[in-house]
Amino acid sequence: MAHTIADLAARLGLEHAGDGTLVIARAAEPAHAGPDALAMAMSPKYAEGLAKGHARAAMLWPGADWQALGLAAALFAPRPRWAMAGVCEALDPGYDFGTGIHPSAHIDPSAEIGTGARIGPFAVIGARARIGPNARIAPHVSVGEDAVIGADAILHAGARIGARCVIGERYIGQPNSVVGGCGFSFVTPEGSGAEDVRATLSGERQVRAQKWHRIQSLGAVRIGDDVELGANSSIDRGTIRDTVIGSGTKIDSVCQIGHNVQMGEDCMMCGMAGVAGSARIGDRVLLAGKVAVNDNIFVGDDVIVGGASRVYTNVPAGRTILGDPATKLETQLEIRRVLRRLPRLAAQVARLQEAVFPGKGSG
Amino acid sequence: MAHTIADLAARLGLEHAGDGTLVIARAAEPAHAGPDALAMAMSPKYAEGLAKGHARAAMLWPGADWQALGLAAALFAPRPRWAMAGVCEALDPGYDFGTGIHPSAHIDPSAEIGTGARIGPFAVIGARARIGPNARIAPHVSVGEDAVIGADAILHAGARIGARCVIGERYIGQPNSVVGGCGFSFVTPEGSGAEDVRATLSGERQVRAQKWHRIQSLGAVRIGDDVELGANSSIDRGTIRDTVIGSGTKIDSVCQIGHNVQMGEDCMMCGMAGVAGSARIGDRVLLAGKVAVNDNIFVGDDVIVGGASRVYTNVPAGRTILGDPATKLETQLEIRRVLRRLPRLAAQVARLQEAVFPGKGSG
Amino acid sequence: MAHTIADLAARLGLEHAGDGTLVIARAAEPAHAGPDALAMAMSPKYAEGLAKGHARAAMLWPGADWQALGLAAALFAPRPRWAMAGVCEALDPGYDFGTGIHPSAHIDPSAEIGTGARIGPFAVIGARARIGPNARIAPHVSVGEDAVIGADAILHAGARIGARCVIGERYIGQPNSVVGGCGFSFVTPEGSGAEDVRATLSGERQVRAQKWHRIQSLGAVRIGDDVELGANSSIDRGTIRDTVIGSGTKIDSVCQIGHNVQMGEDCMMCGMAGVAGSARIGDRVLLAGKVAVNDNIFVGDDVIVGGASRVYTNVPAGRTILGDPATKLETQLEIRRVLRRLPRLAAQVARLQEAVFPGKGSG
């Protein structure tokens, strides 16, 4: 994984200066970088760190005086985060998926395994499942009957792909992620309290016995190309149709996606976010950490939902929203400004009340 | 899994019309239904979809003119969601749990396996565990020592049942669900900052060193009949007594139930909801998605808690609550109405202030 | 696991009275205690329960009249929760991790297994991994290549330790917990809508196509001694540096910790709490259930964050905070008091408006 500075510059399309033959074997924060590391110092605030560390080469901000910083070589990053991606890709040690198919794996004779696929100890591949070429499958993974896994997919330890689910190319399933749990869909013979509340938006309702009867999930989960699902995250199957995740969508750890959800392409869903059953999410939607999206609603293309927001109603395309309940970002920032001084506002109203309606109390 | 329309009608107790001998092999949304599918079109809004698809048979709303819709046969559903449950059950392909006990499963010689139970590759059954008749156990499931699994239970891939836990009949554990993690219970020798805050409801406290000492969980988890636990959800064991989940209760994916919780019968707990340690939940309680219930509180029978609410205090039986902190539904809807126009309210108060106390600023 | 009362008193450093030779085999709640159980009745409110049960011995509050309560022996607990910890430790039946290394476990020949370590069926230990002495590893656990597990660590069923992660002594990984999923770190070549919103704090932005490019995680996860990670919880690896969890920190079930997080020592993180990427958390910080901590912020030593709070900005050491957005505890309690009567406040303002600016409407 070692690279010369000149190689890295060419690979990343960046300018470099100094000794292009210098070899770096790792990346490091400036203060902790040894002489074999590329110090990641993409803004002037890292200059002090560089002085503390022992880097001979660094990724710097454009125009940085690399010689004054005591370096033997430098790369220059006009877009630091993009350069970071390039460096991490170049230096990634990757994971050990073994070679070929481990003899302890249990593969149904009717399954088809693509050329170059690697399958680890104790993995289980069900009947008629199809594993794409060069897929890498870690120990303790299970792939259900009739499931399809695309080429170059990675399933980390304990990842689950349920029966009949179809997964695109280059999918990454983090450890213990689950695709294809049953939908959470139940019904009572005569109607439930929850249905009454939804119909009337009122808490006044008749209490009655209710036994939940399961609605089996006939659908599966269908996932496009280049999708990632985080550790301990879960996507449920659909009832009649499939739950669908569009190509390019990235889902973080400990997230949940309910049955029938239709999520578009190139979305990003951050840690602990959840999308309830039958919600439809457009393309390029960003759900920040801990966001909740209500069931059966629609979130348009390019919507950005700020951290920990709760989305109860449809959101038009392109909007940026925040809060519980979520409102337009600007509205929410105003609401929060007033909220912080709400006790003062209440005291002010009490004084006005006393001045305008003396002796009438807080009315 | 194919059925004639007449068979389905009899099985579901529904009226039908047209060619009762027509065979359907699947269910589909109206617009995507082929000639072998039953189109699910239980309200007039689906008429357009029916025209786009190629269904010859449909599940329709009562009184629908099936012939005008171009169908050869129809079923009529007075309660659409209930009919949906019946159709999905009739057409459910189920899951492949193999036949009998897979030779690679590791079953302790002292375990008892009920007749008809099926156990998949690499499953582990601990010492003295008892598996009920016809239970279906998927690959990579573990059942701890002295645990009991009821008849007809289903444990999907990677589901965990800890030592000494007792699980009722027809339990469904979704992939990677966990029953019987240790309770999260710690103590410091001399009292902790959190205890001080709880006692005084004040942030003024002495900061001190604190080392957490573990309180071992002597209890297990006891689960009634007909309970379901979602993918990546977790129920912790109790400290002295068992954590208890009543019969008929359904728990969605990515949920958490803390140690000592006593949850009643026929409850429903939606995705990403959590109940903290030692809370008691009545019967038929509904916790919507992302709800949080505080530790050590009591939520009465038939309570409905709306989406993403935070319940910090006891809730009397029959109440419908919403919000953070949760209040009665009607109160919360009023609060939210005012919240949305809070900046306007503040501006109004500022103008009143200026009119009543001129030149005094915002008080 | 049976103990005499005198033994327990010596072991726990507590005073006792009555028949010190009485043997107890278990602990129980007072009302459900049989004659072989120690009834846990550490406050006078349990006296009634004692009368209902059949305990001959109890853990009582200091000064309790054990003879009047009909007991043959008693222990006295000045700090009940601490005494509880001692009793549970004394009576803990523990878990069956088998003896030695199960023949079905797959251990890479280059791995080092410490003396006394126990490894269960179907566990997988990767290349060059080092397992500490007396570690206990349950079925279906995976430990990646080059990972290090400290002495006396416990990995419950399905727990994952990723490649190159380093785990301290006495670590407890609950079932299906994950250490070392990849960081959730992506970048677009030209900047994304989310970056625009963060830079301007405004929802006004240009919508554009964006494809997410993965930033590989070069870092791992480094965990100190005496750390616990709950069932279905996840800690992601770092990008350049490691994600770090300090010694003595306890993390509950269904929690998430993002990439690069630096968490201090002796923290407590309760169920469903989440800490987003690159946040720094001090020592002895308590995050209550469902708390969210924003990415890239700093939470000082000894901070206590109340239940379900959302922390968006830096928090100075020693502070107690609550709410969404989190404020000082006292401020939030005041805000909530006003919030509950917000509709009344709005009506009051409307009346003032009508009195001061008659006929002008609500302004």
CATH number at residue B80: 3.40.1390.10
Mean pLDDT confidence for B64-72: 96
pLDDT tens for residues C85-139? 999 999 999 999 999 999 999 999 999 999 999 999 999 999 999 999 999 999 9
Query: What is the rounded CA–CA span in Å between residue B152 and residue B132?
Result: 7
Query: Does any domain span residue B52?
Result: yes
Query: Does any domain span residue C46?
Result: yes
* CA A353 to each of CA A36, A340, B342, C341, C347: distance values in angstroms, whole numbers, following the listed order: 72, 22, 19, 16, 12
Here the tokens at position C237 are 């690896």
CA A45 from chain center: how many Å?
Answer: 29
Q: Which chain A residue has the Cα nearest residue B323? A: A324
- C295 vs A: CB within 8 A: yes
pLDDT tens for residues A261-312? 999 999 999 999 999 999 999 999 999 999 999 999 999 999 999 999 999 9
- Phi and psi dihedrals of C207, rounded to 5? -85, 135
* CA B180 to each of CA B76, B222, C230, C271: distance values in angstroms, whole numbers, following the listed order: 45, 9, 11, 15
Which is more confidently placed, A193 or A3? Answer: A3
Mean pLDDT confidence for B140-166: 98
- C333 vs A: CB within 8 A: no
How far from each other are the two terminal CA atoms of chain A, in whole angstroms?
A: 74
The pLDDT score that the predictor gives to residue C253 is: 98
| B50 pLDDT above the threshold of 80 | yes
Q: Are strands A262-263 and B221-223 parallel, antiparallel or unpaired?
A: unpaired
- B344 vs C: CB within 8 A: yes
Residues of A in contact with B307 (CB under 8 A): 276, 292, 294, 310, 312
The verdict on a CB contact (< 8 Å) between B268 and A178 is no
Query: What is the rounded CA–CA span in Å between residue C272 and residue C257?
Result: 10
The pLDDT score that the predictor gives to residue C361 is: 66
- B342 vs A: CB within 8 A: yes
Amino acid at C104: S
What is the three-state SS of C43-64?
Answer: CHHHHHHHHHCCCCEEEECCCC
- C323 vs A: CB within 8 A: no
Chain-wide mean pLDDT for chain A? 95
Residues of C in contact with B127 (CB under 8 A): 96
Q: What DSSP designation does B46 have?
A: G
Beta bridge partners of B167: B149, B223
Query: Does any domain span residue B224?
Result: no
Here the tokens at position B161 are 């049942």
Q: What is the number of H-type helices and E-type strands within chain B?
A: 6, 39
The pLDDT score that the predictor gives to residue A193 is: 85
Residue in C271, A201, A207 with CA at minimum distance from that of residue B283: A207
- C212 vs A: CB within 8 A: yes
C362: pLDDT confidence band, cut at 50, 70 and 90?
A: low
- Phi and psi based region of residue C133 (left: phi greater than 0; alpha: psi -120 to 50; beta: remaining): beta
Task: Give the max Cα distance, chain A.
Answer: 88
- Let me know: does B173 contact B191? Beta carbons within 8 Å: no
B124: pLDDT confidence band, cut at 50, 70 and 90?
A: very high
The pLDDT score that the predictor gives to residue C203 is: 83
> CB contacts < 8 Å between A and C, how many?
242
The pLDDT score that the predictor gives to residue B361 is: 66
Query: Of the candidates C231, C301, C356, which has its C-beta nearest B181's C-beta?
Result: C231
C192: pLDDT confidence band, cut at 50, 70 and 90?
A: confident
Q: What DSSP designation does B148 have?
A: E
Total domains, chain A: 1
A336: pLDDT confidence band, cut at 50, 70 and 90?
A: very high
The pLDDT score that the predictor gives to residue A362 is: 56
- C199 vs A: CB within 8 A: no
- A308 vs B: CB within 8 A: no
Q: How far is C43 from chain A (nearest CA, A)?
A: 37
The pLDDT score that the predictor gives to residue B45 is: 94
Q: Which chain B residue has the Cα nearest residue C27? A: B240
| C363 pLDDT above the threshold of 70 | no
Q: What DSSP designation does B219 have?
A: -
| B173 pLDDT above the threshold of 80 | yes
Mean pLDDT confidence for C177-182: 98
For residue C173, the SS3 value is strand
Q: Are strands B3-4 and C274-275 parallel, antiparallel or unpaired?
A: unpaired
| B196 pLDDT above the threshold of 60 | yes
Range A96-99, long-range pairs (CB < 8 A, 24+ positions) = A96/C126, A96/C127, A96/C144, A96/C145, A96/C163, A97/A136, A97/A137, A97/A138, A97/A154
Residue linked to tokens 């598996």:
B131
For residue C199, the SS3 value is helix
* CA A348 to each of CA B15, B183, B337, C227: distance values in angstroms, whole numbers, following the listed order: 66, 48, 21, 50
Query: Does any domain span residue B111?
Result: no
Mutating which of C272, C351, C357 best tests the B interface, going by the most B Cβ atoms within 10 A?
C272
Burial of C164 (0-12, 13-18, 19+ CB in 10 A): buried
Beta carbons within 8 Å of C346's beta carbon, 6+ residues apart: B338, B345
Query: Does any domain span residue C38?
Result: yes
| Boundaries of domain holding B21 | 3-91
Residues of C in contact with B142 (CB under 8 A): 138-140, 157-158, 175
The pLDDT score that the predictor gives to residue A221 is: 98
The verdict on a CB contact (< 8 Å) between A172 and C186 is no
Mean pLDDT confidence for B185-208: 86
Query: What is the rounded CA–CA span in Å between residue A160 and residue A44?
Result: 45
Cis, bond preceding A62 (omega within 30 deg of 0):
no
Residues of A in contact with B342 (CB under 8 A): 334-335, 338-339
- Let me know: does B322 contact B305? Beta carbons within 8 Å: yes
- Let me know: does C103 contact C119? Beta carbons within 8 Å: no
Residue in A163, C29, C102, A254 with CA at minimum distance from that of residue B106: C102
CA C179 from chain center: how many Å?
Answer: 14
The pLDDT score that the predictor gives to residue C287 is: 98
Residue linked to tokens 């206990």:
C136
Angle between helices A329-340 and B329-340 (to 10 degrees): 100
Q: Which chain B residue has the Cα nearest residue A293? A: B289
Query: What is the rounded CA–CA span in Å between residue C332 and residue C320?
Result: 10
B201: pLDDT confidence band, cut at 50, 70 and 90?
A: confident
The pLDDT score that the predictor gives to residue C190 is: 84
Query: What is the rounded CA–CA span in Å between residue B104 and residue C119?
Result: 17
Q: What DSSP designation does C159 have?
A: -
Mutating which of A14, A32, A81, A154 best tests the C interface, going by the most C Cβ atoms within 10 A?
A81
C198: pLDDT confidence band, cut at 50, 70 and 90?
A: confident
Query: Does any domain span residue A60?
Result: yes
Q: Which chain A residue has the Cα nearest residue C347? A: A363
Residue linked to tokens 């213990």:
A176
- Residue-level length of chain C: 363
Which is more confidently placed, A162 or C200? Answer: A162
- Let me know: does C239 contact A88? Beta carbons within 8 Å: yes
Here the tokens at position A74 are 């430098």
Query: Does any domain span residue C12?
Result: yes
Mean pLDDT confidence for A161-177: 98
Element at C350 (helix H, strand E): helix C342-356
- Let me know: does A46 contact A23? Beta carbons within 8 Å: no
Here the tokens at position C217 are 């995680």
Q: How far is A222 from chain B (nearest CA, A)?
A: 16
Here the tokens at position A128 are 């008629």
Mutating which of B156, B247, B253 best tests the A interface, going by the most A Cβ atoms within 10 A?
B253
Residue A259 annotated to the active site: yes
Mean pLDDT confidence for A45-57: 94
- C36 vs B: CB within 8 A: no
Determine how many CB atoms are found less than 10 A away from the CB of residue B341: 15
The verdict on a CB contact (< 8 Å) between B176 and A160 is yes
Amino acid at B342: L
Here the tokens at position A21 are 């033959």
- Phi and psi dihedrals of A345, rounded to 5? -60, -40
The pLDDT score that the predictor gives to residue B362 is: 56
A360: pLDDT confidence band, cut at 50, 70 and 90?
A: confident
Catalytic annotation, pick one of B3, B16, B156, B259: B259
| C270 pLDDT above the threshold of 90 | yes
| C321 pLDDT above the threshold of 90 | yes
Query: What is the rounded CA–CA span in Å between residue B236 and residue B340?
Result: 39
| A363 pLDDT above the threshold of 80 | no
Q: Which chain B residue has the Cα nearest residue C328? A: B203
Amino acid at B193: G
The pLDDT score that the predictor gives to residue C206 is: 80
The pLDDT score that the predictor gives to residue C340 is: 93
Residue in C282, C28, C214 with CA at minimum distance from that of residue B218: C28
Over pLDDT 90: what percentage of chain C? 92
Residue in A47, A82, A86 with CA at minimum distance from that of residue A66: A47
Mean pLDDT confidence for A223-238: 98
Query: Does any domain span residue B346?
Result: no
Query: What is the rounded CA–CA span in Å between residue A154 and residue C214?
Result: 14
Amino acid at C304: I
- C206 vs B: CB within 8 A: no
